[in-house]
Structure 1
Amino acid sequence: MIKKVLFLFLIPVLTQAQRVGTNVDRIVAKVDNYYILRSEVETIMQRSKEQDQPVDKCQALESLAVQKLLVAKAEIDSVIVEPDVVENQLDARMGEMIRIYGSEKNIVEQFNKSIESLKSEVRQQVTEQLTAQQMQQTITEGMSVTPAEVKIFMDNIPKDSLPTIPTEVKVAQLVRLAKLTVAQKSELKQRLEDLKLRVEKGESFEELAKEYSEDQGSRTYGGDLGWAKRGQMVPEFEAAAMRLEPNQMSEVVESSFGFHLIQLLEIRGQEYHARHILLRPEYNRLDMTAPTQFLDSLRNFIVTDSVSFSDAVRLHSEDENTKYTGGILQDPSTGSDRMALDLSMEPNLYFTVDTMKVGTVTAPLPYRSADGKTGMRLLYLKDKYAPHQINMKDDYEKIKQFALINKQNTEIDKWFKEAIAEVYIKIDPEYQVCKLFEY
């Protein structure tokens, strides 16, 4: 059963207990020192149903038990996920929640908890999910498939069982972000300068960072970013930090992440140890007039063939992830530049692209990046692929990915057989009917 449930690791779990703000729940399984709650099982079942991949309670329980087992073994084998990776993923998920619910205020009302309280609860789940993924990657590290293995995999699929590839699209975007006004920049700078003055008068930089910094990855540690090598931080931050003497604070520094007050702690060779207080703009308050007008004008040049969409992206887009690939969006789960045209897409993207014709460009549309920045974007439907039965000619990369996953799952199954013997597992009587980890 394990191969069928591994995909559930990626489902974010916000339980009904969290939603209504109560701690009433029940432990239904224990894997080493990790517990599984009944609400988690029920939420997995509900989420998988919403994604049209329904699972029963045994499959849901096993998916969670698999994750706990991976985490338990990761602890034994010293496989860890860095805190900043956890916080970046947490920020991305909170950004997605803001997109879904419309605002932080709506989230607070929906879950009856503050944003910080909700983040604290979700952080442990994110840590476990990322640790499980890291352990899984460690098990399958370096694995690949040859063209011959891909062909063997394809040949072993019965002809009447070959899946149908749904309608797919290739979509590109051109993004322009809203800019801070002079007044908004001045406000953020002044707040950091006030904090700097407080440190100079004797208050603790560390305690002020814990209270005011908006970098969730370092805030818990008083803004401490640990040791960094040259080139690891954004240029503006590194340049300012490297000009400081130990314990000296910088002037306010602006970067793509926001505004920083930096304090250098130590330096050794090509490495430096610093901490900071980060303040971010309130992106929801930014004026969209300028990016909208810019994109309106640029769109006219594109639709009259004065400039190609890909050239316009290269010259003018402010999304660094797609700027040098012609603006082409990738499926987040596969990395492919062909995305299924269904509800697995971000809803706003799906409902827009579903009505487009190949070769057309939208009017400027609202845009929010994964890290919360806002702006406007143009969407361009570059190509559309009709549903078809999977075949080596049109879908080789997909088949190659399936073959690799199959090979990795075989290796993971071997690993599980050995790992189960090393970890204590206890199941509640209600779930004894579930024969977990059977091969």
Structure 2
Amino acid sequence: MTGAAFLAAPSFVHAQAATTPAPATTAAVQDTIKGLPLDGIAAVVGDQVILVSEVMTAVNQARASGAKVESAKDLARLEQEILEQMIDAELLVQKAKDEKVEVQDAEIADAVDSQEKKIRQQFKSDAEFKAALKEAGMGSLEEWRKLQGDQVKRTKLQQGVMQKLQRDGKVTSVNVGEAEIAEAFDVFKARVGPKEARVGLRQIVVATKPSEDSKKRARNKIDSLYAELLKRPEDFELIAKRESMDGTRELGGDLGWNRRGRMVPEFDRMMFSLNPGIISPIVETAFGFHIIRVDRVQPAEVKARHILIRPMVDTADERRARILADSVAAAWRAGGSFDSLSVKFHDDASGEDKTIPEYPRSELPEPYRNALEGATLNQVVDPFPLPDPSAGVSKFVIAQVTFLDEAGEWTLGEARERIREQLSEERKMRRLIDNLKKKTYVSVRYDPAKQSGSDR
């Protein structure tokens, strides 16, 4: 992972970059990408300006992601494509504002947190992570997060306005014929590469649950903390740092901003019923016992803290869960209804989906890969353990294979619906953007073709 990877961010309107690394370039092209050119206006869209430096930054992002550039002519072509995409994106963002489409700050923060977590995992130390930030031209993590946040917001605005216009019936469907699908098949194969092995399944996840004695001890503990808070409510953060049994402990129980539906129902209902500064009664969820305090409220979301006390589980509880999982698997194989069994035994708090229609085998977690090795269609595999780091024990998965597809070359039949859907979406998008261009002032000031022979 190089610093250039930090510059990459999602974009709804984006280039179809090559997936192979770029070969050695000519000296002229190498000189171009060493730094950004002197700034100028590349285009004006409505009342917004797109700078040449912004185009060059996006070009460098594309090259870092594998866009093929072997000559100055290739570079000019890539610049032209990206400039057009940036104009399209700006038109959609402006339309989103006209349509009153909004993106919540919490939603942006969640997306950036997820990106940061994935990137950090690819470095051995925090020092390597910070060094890569500097290589990418970022003065600090905060600067990178702001850049990512801005790009995430623009992407979500583009997605949001398309969804709203479709709901409102303002984006018409586009029919795609068989001849068009056949013509696009070779492009599809070149873009996505060979078909990788995929598997689909449905599953029941059996949690390792605490004994009644353990739950009583946890309840007694939370009762004592609640009594302490009634005497000194101002000590909520201190008590959370001392006692809470989850990842928010070091933050004094801070859960950040949350919208409805993000937490389990019992927690969610209580959190949204509280006024700021009020301490909740004790709330029991699948995770344990909670005390909640809301700090701030704004439309559609709240900022809250909590204290969590988990009932302890041990190897005896884990053995009991394994026996239960074996009995569920036996009932399923004997003809039991998946719907009935999953309602009764699936642990919704685990966050594991009951149904996974298709998933690349190579991306499955190791326990799944091992358990599904050699499994046949419709087979219910033996229960297998899945580590539950928060509890320190395993939960158990009973899975049935519902889809199997081996690796190999795509056939037109396999790719037909994917190509049809993609072409339809692209054409709907193109029609919308062309209509927006007719209603919006767009002036292109930068011509990459004229620059391709000059020393930029």
TM-score (norm 1): 0.57
- Write out aligned runs for 1:393-408 (5 A): 398=418, 401-408=421-428
| C-alpha contact (below 8 Å) 1:302/1:308 kept by paired residues | no
Equivalent residue number for residue 342 of structure 2? 313
Change (3 A) 1:157 1:121: closer
| C-alpha contact (below 8 Å) 2:371/2:381 kept by paired residues | no
| C-alpha contact (below 8 Å) 1:249/1:264 kept by paired residues | no
Change (3 A) 1:296 1:213: same
| C-alpha contact (below 8 Å) 1:295/1:377 kept by paired residues | no
Q: Does 1:133 align with 2:159?
A: yes
Equivalent residue number for residue 170 of structure 1? 200
Change (3 A) 1:139 1:201: closer
SS in 1 for 2:102: coil
Q: Distance in 2 between matches of 1:213 and 1:426?
A: 52
Equivalent residue number for residue 364 of structure 1? 384
Q: Does 1:262 align with 2:280?
A: no
Q: Residue 412 of structure 2: which of 390, 399, 410 is its match?
A: 390
- Write out aligned runs for 1:331-350 (5 A): 337-339=357-359, 345=363, 348=366
1:275-333 per-residue CA deviation (whole Å, 9 max, x = no partner) reads 52245789xx997985586247524752682465835434322247998x8x221xxxx
Instruction: Calculate the aligned-residue CA RMSD, in Å.
Output: 5.9
Letter of the 1:315 partner, please give it. K
| C-alpha contact (below 8 Å) 1:86/1:127 kept by paired residues | yes
Q: Residue 410 of structure 1: which of 412, 424, 430 is its match?
A: 430
SS in 2 for 1:361: coil
Change (3 A) 1:240 1:374: same
Equivalent residue number for residue 279 of structure 2? 249
Change (3 A) 1:338 1:202: closer
SS in 2 for 1:170: strand
Equivalent residue number for residue 71 of structure 1? 93
Q: Distance in 1 between matches of 2:344 and 2:101?
A: 42
Q: Does 1:277 align with 2:305?
A: yes
SS in 2 for 1:338: strand
SS in 1 for 2:434: helix
| C-alpha contact (below 8 Å) 1:90/1:119 kept by paired residues | yes
Change (3 A) 1:233 1:30: farther
Q: Distance in 1 between matches of 2:218 and 2:427?
A: 53
Equivalent residue number for residue 325 of structure 2? 298
Letter of the 1:156 partner, please give it. E
Q: Distance in 2 between matches of 1:109 and 1:309?
A: 53
1:53-103 per-residue CA deviation (whole Å, 9 max, x = no partner) reads xx97535665556445533553455421123333444455456567x55xx
Q: Show structure 1 runs of 5+ residues with no match.
A: 9-23, 204-208, 219-224, 330-336, 435-439
| C-alpha contact (below 8 Å) 2:380/2:400 kept by paired residues | yes
Q: Does 1:111 align with 2:129?
A: yes
Letter of the 1:5 partner, please give it. H
Q: Distance in 1 between matches of 2:283 and 2:15?
A: 43
SS in 1 for 2:204: strand
Equivalent residue number for residue 355 of structure 1? 373
Q: Please, which moves more after superposition, 245-254 or 405-414?
A: 245-254
Letter of the 2:402 partner, please give it. K
Change (3 A) 1:395 1:201: closer
Q: Residue 355 of structure 2: which of 316, 328, 340 is its match?
A: 328
Structure with bigger gyration radius: 2
Letter of the 1:261 partner, please give it. I
Structure 1 residue 159: deviation in Å? 6.3
Q: Distance in 2 between matches of 1:3 and 1:199?
A: 46
Structure 1 residue 385: deviation in Å? 3.4
Q: Distance in 1 between matches of 2:232 and 2:146?
A: 28
Change (3 A) 1:145 1:277: same
Q: Distance in 1 between matches of 2:307 and 2:380?
A: 39
Q: Show structure 2 runs of 5+ residues with no match.
A: 1-10, 18-33, 69-73, 134-139, 238-248
Letter of the 1:130 partner, please give it. K
Q: Does 1:123 align with 2:154?
A: no
Q: Does 1:215 align with 2:252?
A: no
Q: Distance in 2 between matches of 1:173 and 1:85?
A: 29
| C-alpha contact (below 8 Å) 1:178/1:374 kept by paired residues | yes
Letter of the 1:174 partner, please give it. I
Q: Please, which moves more after superposition, 128-137 or 34-43?
A: 34-43
SS in 1 for 2:254: coil
Equivalent residue number for residue 11 of structure 1? none
1:31-51 per-residue CA deviation (whole Å, 9 max, x = no partner) reads 73677385654344444679x
Q: Percent identity?
A: 14
Q: Distance in 1 between matches of 2:316 and 2:268?
A: 33
Q: Distance in 2 between matches of 1:124 and 1:3?
A: 13
Equivalent residue number for residue 30 of structure 2? none
Equivalent residue number for residue 6 of structure 2? none
Q: Does 1:5 align with 2:5?
A: no
1:173-205 per-residue CA deviation (whole Å, 9 max, x = no partner) reads 3334566876888888988887776654899xx
Q: Distance in 1 between matches of 2:449 and 2:395?
A: 50
SS in 2 for 1:215: strand
